[in-house]
Amino acid sequence: MQLDQGQLERFDKEGYLFLPNTFTADEVGVLRRRADAIFTMDREEVWRESSGVARTAFAAHKYDEGFRRLGAHPRLVEPVMQLLDGPVYMHQFKINAKAAFDGEVWQWHQDFGTWHRDDEMPEPRAMNIALFLDEVSAVNGPLMFIPGSHKGGTLQAGHDLATTSYPLWTLSRDEVTRLANEGGCVAPTGAPGSVIMFHGNLVHASPPNISPFPRTIVYLSLCHVDNHIRAFKRKEWIAHRDFTPIAPLPDDCLAELVKQERQAA
Amino acid sequence: MQLDQGQLERFDKEGYLFLPNTFTADEVGVLRRRADAIFTMDREEVWRESSGVARTAFAAHKYDEGFRRLGAHPRLVEPVMQLLDGPVYMHQFKINAKAAFDGEVWQWHQDFGTWHRDDEMPEPRAMNIALFLDEVSAVNGPLMFIPGSHKGGTLQAGHDLATTSYPLWTLSRDEVTRLANEGGCVAPTGAPGSVIMFHGNLVHASPPNISPFPRTIVYLSLCHVDNHIRAFKRKEWIAHRDFTPIAPLPDDCLAELVKQERQAA
């Protein structure tokens, strides 16, 4: 899977691309069921909201066959290899639950800000590509971007240890307001199976989910292998230390798993 | 202004109607400026979030000429008279700020639940009609509805005194989930000047606004004059005690004010 010239130009200008209908309902279904099972697991990689429901499950590609395949899926890995111009490794892998009623805020931040400050990743030659496992709409805490905000480099940030259960380097309100007055603020919404990819310096956030519907998104944070992290302060399952280039699997790797599960059922 | 047959049928089925482009940019502009001025006023009708920014300004139709005219505007009053089949009075008038960054949640509730329990309004022959003074989008805490949820009457509710600064009779998560599994959950979005009207028993909520953009909506709660409240426990400026039928003003009443302000400038 390769991005075309128009998509490359749009990514350069806006800092993100939204790709609806990238995975089928069957492919999403097999992952959705596995995500629910993972959220109930009592393991350190499953981070919880203050209410106790799952907020983020890290590194599921290491302990679940469905997410192992997703972590090397060509529809996710190849567009990022194209944009970063070379082989990539998995810096972080997470399933963000944003549970019905309880899913809490992610304050305004740049991911590279955290990767650089906490993990000493040298340059923003790393980015997220994310898959919607639920429909994302205006009601269930959609991801919000400030288009073009990746152009200003890595902005000053404060270490927010108070707002939620997860530490994050967050931007000031003045900075967010200034950027949004220039670039606006968008929340791409769409069906399960949609994919969104965004620059490591794109400013983003997501509001709480007060709706009765969950909003699960899987994030692959992929980094050029030359640009691997230098510091190992965070847990290995939050900021991986295995810099082996990902070899993309065949395009039908998830469809194959769907078939196997059907035969076993 | 009269609703057509298709609109009447949609309202009956879904419990709300969204009417984009109902007021002009000029008409909205004159109200937007006045709302900002009101939010800075130190008066008891202006309720604040825990952060100190304005949450709701009550009864502005009593102390501001722009909102006085809006409170008798035919584009708002006449459709409600049509649906409630007779003359109406102003039960409540409020400007909800939902300020940038600080605007807090409104939990899931039915307005008639509060009108009935707190004010002894006999029947749900009362409803809201609301005007967007800002663009409402997925990013700034849009109003969320459960279509069809007005059909089940007035549901059991608990008095929420803790979540926000404003007391509200709110529904249980189980009830909201049950209703949304039947009717779904929608968040109508649109430009300033859009109007939304909804049944007194329609279940609704709105999430916090973490965006850098405010989301101001003016609500007229209009009640059939025969159905006026019987109890006067809440402040007069929250639940009005003047049951005089509203005489709709001419359609150009706000345009006229715009013209006057331009001449005075």
Q: What would the pLDDT profile of A78-104 be if each residue is shown by its tens digit?
A: 999 999 999 999 999 999 999 999 888
pLDDT of residue A212: 97
Residue B163 has pLDDT above 80, yes or no: no
- Report the residue from B177, B207, B211 with minimal CB separation from A212: B177
What ranges do the domains of chain A cover?
A: 5-264
Residue B162: pLDDT above 80?
no
DSSP state, B225? G
CB contact under 8 A, A138 and B141: no
User: Which of B107, B142, B185 lies nearest to residue A212, judging by beta carbons?
Assistant: B185
User: Which of A211, A213, A215 is the best substitution to test chain B (most B C-beta atoms within 10 A)?
Assistant: A211
Whole-angstrom distance, CA of residue B201 vs CA of residue B156: 12
To the nearest whole Å, the CA of A175 is away from the closest chain B CA by 10
**Which positions in chain B touch A187 (Cβ < 8 Å)?**
137-139
Give, for A175, the enclosing helix (H) or strand (E).
helix A173-183
- Measured between beta carbons, the chain B residues lying within 8 angstroms of A104 are none
What pLDDT band is residue A51 in, cutting at 50, 70 and 90? Answer: confident
User: Strands of A46-48's sheet, edge to edge?
Assistant: A16-19, A195-199, A126-132, A217-224, A88-96, A54-58, A46-48
CA-based angle B261:B262:B265, to the nearest 5?
85
Q: Pick the residue from chain B with its C-alpha nearest to A175.
A: B212
> Residues of chain A with pLDDT > 70: what percent?
99
Chain A contacts to B (CB-CB under 8 A): 100-101, 105, 107-108, 137-142, 144, 173, 176-177, 180-181, 185-187, 189, 205, 207-213
Contact across the interface for A105 and B177, Cβ inside 8 Å: no
- Please give, rounded to a whole number of angstroms, the shortest distance from the CA of A136 to a CA of chain B: 10
Of B50, B73, B7, B77, give the one whose Cα is nearest residue B208. B50
The domain covering B5-264 belongs, at the CATH homologous superfamily level, to q2cbj1_9rhob like domain (2.60.120.620)
Mean pLDDT lowest among A4-18, B152-166, B228-242: B152-166
Mean pLDDT on A13-31: 98
| Residues ≥6 apart with Cβ < 8 Å to A57 | A35, A38, A39, A41, A45, A46, A47, A94, A95, A97
Partner-chain residue, chosen from B180, B208, B213, that has the shortest CB–CB distance to A212: B180
Interchain contact, A211 vs B180, CB within 8 Å: yes
Specify the pLDDT at position A45. 95
- pLDDT bracket for residue A32 (50, 70, 90): very high
pLDDT in the model for residue A160 = 80
Please give the average per-residue pLDDT across A202-223, as a whole number: 97
pLDDT for A164 beyond 80: no
- Phi, psi torsion values for B248, nearest 5 degrees: -55, 140
Q: A150: which 2 tokens? A: 């990746």
CA B153 to centroid of chain Cα atoms: 20
Contact yes or no for B138 and A141 at CB 8 A: no
Name the closest residue on chain A to residue B212, using Cα atoms: A177
* CA–CA dist A224, A238 (Å, integer): 17
pTM for the structure as a whole: 0.92
Token pair recorded at residue A232: 């190992």
Distance in angstroms (rounded) separating the CA atoms of residues B99 and B95: 11
Amino acid type, A256: E
Q: In angstroms, how far is the first alpha carbon of chain A from the final one?
A: 32
* Chain B interface with A: residues with Cβ < 8 Å: 100-101, 105, 107-108, 137-142, 144, 173, 176-177, 180-181, 185-187, 189, 205, 207-213
Distance, CA of B190 to chain centre: 16
Contacts of A173 in chain B (CB under 8 A): 101, 212
Q: And the tokens for A120?
A: 């000493």
**Within a 10 A sphere around the Cβ of A251, how many other Cβ atoms?**
13
Cross-chain Cβ contact A210/B108 below 8 Å: yes
Q: What is the pLDDT of residues B166-216, one digit of tens each?
A: 778 899 999 999 999 999 999 999 999 999 999 999 999 999 999 999 999
pLDDT tens column, B10-27: 999 999 999 999 999 999
A192 vs A194: CA distance, rounded Å: 6
Give A103-137 pLDDT, tens digit per residue: 888 899 999 999 999 999 999 999 999 999 999 99
Contact check, Cβ <8 Å, B212/A142: no
**Model confidence at A60: pLDDT above 80:** yes
pLDDT tens across A239-253, in order? 999 999 999 999 999
- Identify the residue whose tokens are 């505007």: B73
Q: What is the mean pLDDT of residues B130-140?
A: 97
Q: Which stretch of A161-170, A185-194, A232-241 has the lowest confidence by average pLDDT? A: A161-170
For residue A42 the two structure tokens come to 């009592």
Which of A180, A211, A212 is nearest residue B212 as measured by Cβ atoms? A180
Residues of chain A in contact with residue B211, where contact means CB-CB under 8 angstroms, are 144, 180, 185, 207
ipTM associated with this complex: 0.89
Contact B142 A144 (CB under 8 A): no
Report the pLDDT value the prediction gives residue A49, as an integer from 0 to 100: 82
- Closest Cα of chain A to B160: distance in Å? 15
Question: Could you give the dihedral angle defined by the CA atoms of residues B77, B81, B86 and B89, in that order, rounded to the nearest 10 degrees?
Answer: -40
Cα–Cα distance measured from residue B228 to residue B244, given in angstroms and rounded to the nearest whole number: 10
